[in-house]
Structure 1
Amino acid sequence: MVAALPYMIDTFVKLASIPSPSGNTAKAISFVAEELSKWNVSFQLANKGALLATLPGTNNDKHRLLTAHVDTLGAMVKEIKSNGRLKLAKIGGFNWNATEGEYCQIETSSGRIITGTILTSKASVHVYAQSGKEERTDELMEVRLDEKVTNAEEVKALGICVGDFVSFDPHVTVTETGFIKSRHLDDKASVAILLGVIKTIQEEAIELPFTTHFLISNNEEIGYGGNSNVPENTVEYLAVDMGAIGTGQTTDEYCVSICAKDSSGPYHYEFRKQLVKLAEENGLNYQVDIYPFYGSDASAALRAGHDIVHGLIGPGIDASHSHERTHTSSFENTAQLVMAYLQSKEMIV
């Protein structure tokens, strides 16, 4: 998998640069489809826009499914203010302070892109004495457009309307020390990792013991990305998503994180133990953690009523839903665990 690492990093950089807030992910899904087509991987598009790719295995009676999501946090135009600024509605769960000062772009219904900056309506410390103390709320935050506009009518003349999607500049940076700094590592890092794994399987003609599906979901940030399009014979369902880092967590930016429990409850115990065993057998840097405020495509699938064994792993990512960062070694450890799992001949049930 070391050979695939440059591909995975390069793919993440490209994918992170494609705006894809939940609800507006077609361009990112198209990018994934183009990559899969390079290796003659069969796939289909779901009615709600997700992509399901399939690699045949020796055993076609029991299937495995892995997910990663291409949708990201973002916003929508909630209101065009009388002063020519925009009020926003959040897409996904984040804090406004994490986007203050962020460059953004508005995509109009005609496809025109207009740039701006997310600020508070009381940004100037030379005018507002309490500027730094104001709570960052929906009412306080606004977009300053990079256009000569001073009122709502001038903004509307640009083609901007309520409901237009707003995406955040990812600021993708790969440092010489191997750190990857960017918004939307959650979960485009995992999408890139799965593409790297698929590339390796196809190019090296690796035989899989079980038919395996890869679901690239597009509504995870709003709770229902991976709850459908689960093929009938699927027994094991592994979500590949970010590992949460913070006080009390064991996960760091260099390991593959294995989730024992999140806000939806425990993940399948035997599945988790199998993932730990594979990580140890392959000498991987891994940690087991609980993510207290988190839900995944796998937990969404269980809520939808699918009778599956569910698990969750992913690269450790710092500052989730803010200015995120991970390391190339976390990409590598996660990819190796995914590959070890796909080649394992043990099925939980």
Structure 2
Amino acid sequence: MTANAPAPTSPIDRAYLLEILGRLLAIRSPSGMTDQIVLTVSEELDRLDIPYSLTRRGAIRADLEGARHSPDRAIVAHLDTLGAMIKQLKPNGRLEIVPIGFWSARFAEGARVTVHSDDGRYFRGTILPLKASGHTYNEEIDTQPVAWTNLELRLDERCHGIDDLARLGVNIGDTISIDAQPEFCDNGFINARHLDDKAGVAALLAVARACRETRARLPVDCHLLLTISEETGVGASHILHGDVAELVSIDNGTIAPGQNTCEYGVTISMQDSSGPFDWHLTRHLLALCRDNAIEHSRDVFRHYRSDAAAAVEAGNDIRTALVCFALDASHGHERTHVDSLMALADLLYAYVLSEPLFRRDAMKLGPVADFPHPPPAPEQPSADPAVADQAPPRQPGSEALPRA
């Protein structure tokens, strides 16, 4: 974890960041049920006087105008969260459920939830293991496997059979939202479900607000993308347009043994499960951290992917990077710290004010002459002993070129 001299005064309004995060956490938005949070964020963009448009399903693209329109850049975070869905109505009056998104049944046990019915009504309940009473099952509680097939939803209604559930209006396929249960501690720690990625959205909105309040002059257009299906793998695959050359994704950096996430700073991911991020864009973000005295670290994540992966897999030829706020117990009982969110926001603010990496990125295709050239690398050893000690001459065009 590194930082230089004490950082200058941050342009990010800490109180606003925490306030908007609290508002976002209060909205239920599992994948597939994101209309309300889309409307809430749209209203906030209206208040900030930031133009935006929506896709058919509700992904948001907000626009911060820069001095040039191409090559432009984008920053993406996701509004959707984990959740669950009713799989079957059970003869005992309870409900079989399946997850929305990818999360462990271990963290579903004991969750307080809301079932959203087709007619707009909702029902409260608790997710429980099939063997939930120690007075009845004794040690069997501890030996039953952790699996979604070993869970059921107990509604807070008088339901003792399938007919009772049907009369209530409960149906197979009803969406289940999980209570966020946020707690903002005086020492800066924030505990809640769904900090992934509502904490990232809050940081991005705080950056947008800072740009407006400081009347920042951006060198190039920057699009703020808020997606609605990242937890199910779709992510930013459908919201980009051709002029975007750089895409920075916001997500969580996991705090765990074997990881190098900075708990009170921002973490730059070098690779996730989809592969390495763009070498040049990643090093540019690291340089911005050093130049602006932002506490930061580098990390590699093996078991998750972000909005950026979906964008590349959809056929977009763009440079991508992943910046992370720290998150303990991701996709479970999550915890972050406001200092990490502020460091993330400070980096994003510095990024939108920085020059684009390469002028050539305005074109999808171009000549090799203006393609970035790496510095000379050590030569590969020769398999032929006769020439092993002879270094080949440098090839024309191997000199490093300026970035912009």
Partners of 1:331 and 1:116 in 2: CA distance: 32
What do the CA deviations read for 1:47-104 (whole angstroms, capped 9, x no partner)?
1321111111101121101100010000111111011101111111111011111101
2:332 is aligned with 1:347: no
Q: 1:293 aligns with which of 303, 307, 316?
A: 303
Matched, 1:305 2:300: no
Distance in 2, matches of 1:77 and 1:253, equals 36
Give, in angstroms, the shift of residue 332 of structure 1.
0.6
* Alpha-carbon distance in structure 2 between the residues aligned to 1:116 and 1:209: 51
Residue 109 of structure 1: CA displacement? 1.0
Is the 1:252–1:318 contact (alpha carbons within 8 Å) kept by the matching residues of 2? no
Mapped to 1, the partners of 2:304 and 2:196 lie a distance apart of 12
1:253 and 2:260 aligned: no
Q: Secondary structure at the match of 1:317?
A: strand
CA distance in 2, matches of 1:312, 1:335: 13
Given candidates 229, 233, 237, the residue that maps to 2:239 is 229
Aligned to 1:270: 280
Q: Which residue of 1 aligns with 2:397?
A: none
Residue 58 of structure 1 is matched in structure 2 by 67
Give the superposition deviation at 1:346.
Answer: 3.8
The equivalent residue for 2:26 is 17
Alignment of structure 1 residues 147-166 onto 2, 5 Å? 147-166=157-176
Q: TM-score, normalised by structure 2?
A: 0.85
Deviation sequence 1:116-168 (CA, Å, 0-9, x none): 00001110111113111101222210111011111111111111111111011
1:200 is displaced (CA, Å) by: 1.1
Q: Is the 8 A contact 2:245 2:318 kept in 1?
A: yes
Q: Say what the alpha-carbon RMSD is for the aligned residues.
A: 1.0
SS in 1 for 2:249: strand
In 1, Cα distance between equivalents of 2:287 and 2:178: 39
Match of 1:198 in 2: 208
Equivalent in the alignment of 2:46: 37
- Select between 46-55 and 327-336 the one with higher mean Cα deviation: 46-55
Task: Provide the C-alpha distance between the structure 2 equivalents of 1:220 and 1:244, rounded to a whole number of angstroms.
Answer: 17
Q: Are 1:126 and 2:135 an aligned pair?
A: yes
Given the alignment, which residue of 340, 347, 369 partners 1:337? 347
Question: Among the aligned pairs, what percent are the same residue?
Answer: 37
Q: Distance in 2 between matches of 1:262 and 1:3?
A: 28
Deviation sequence 1:222-274 (CA, Å, 0-9, x none): 10121112022100001011112211111132111110001000000111100
- On the 8 A contact 1:226/1:301 being kept in 2, the answer is yes
Give the equivalent residue in structure 1 for 2:94: 85
CA distance in 1, matches of 2:254, 2:275: 16
How far off its partner does 1:294 sit? Answer: 0.8
Q: 3-state SS of the aligned residue for 1:132? A: helix
1:312-343 CA-partner distances (Å, limit 9, x unpaired): 00211111000000101001100000000000
* Aligned residue among 141, 148, 152 for 1:138: 148
Are 1:67 and 2:99 an aligned pair?
A: no
TM-score calculated relative to the size of structure 1: 0.98
Cα distance in 1, alignment partners of residues 11 and 66 from structure 2: 24
**Residue 226 and residue 329 in structure 1: after superposition, are their counterparts in 2 closer, same or farther (change >3 A)?**
same
2:324 is matched with 314
Aligned residues: 349
What is the rounded CA distance, in whole Å, between the counterparts of 1:253 and 1:321 in structure 2?
Answer: 17
- Counterpart-to-counterpart distance in 2, 1:2 and 1:109: 44
1:252 & 1:208 partners in 2: Cα distance?
28
| Matched position secondary structure for 1:311 | strand
- For the residue of structure 1 that corresponds to 2:309, the secondary structure is helix
Preserved CA contact (<8 Å) 2:326 2:340: yes
CA distance in 2, matches of 1:227, 1:89: 25
Note the C-alpha offset of 1:3. Answer: 5.0
What secondary structure does 2:355 align onto? coil
Q: Which amino acid aligns with 2:299?
A: D
User: Which runs of 5 or more residues in structure 1 are unaligned?
Assistant: none
Q: Is the 8 A contact 1:2 1:332 kept in 2?
A: no
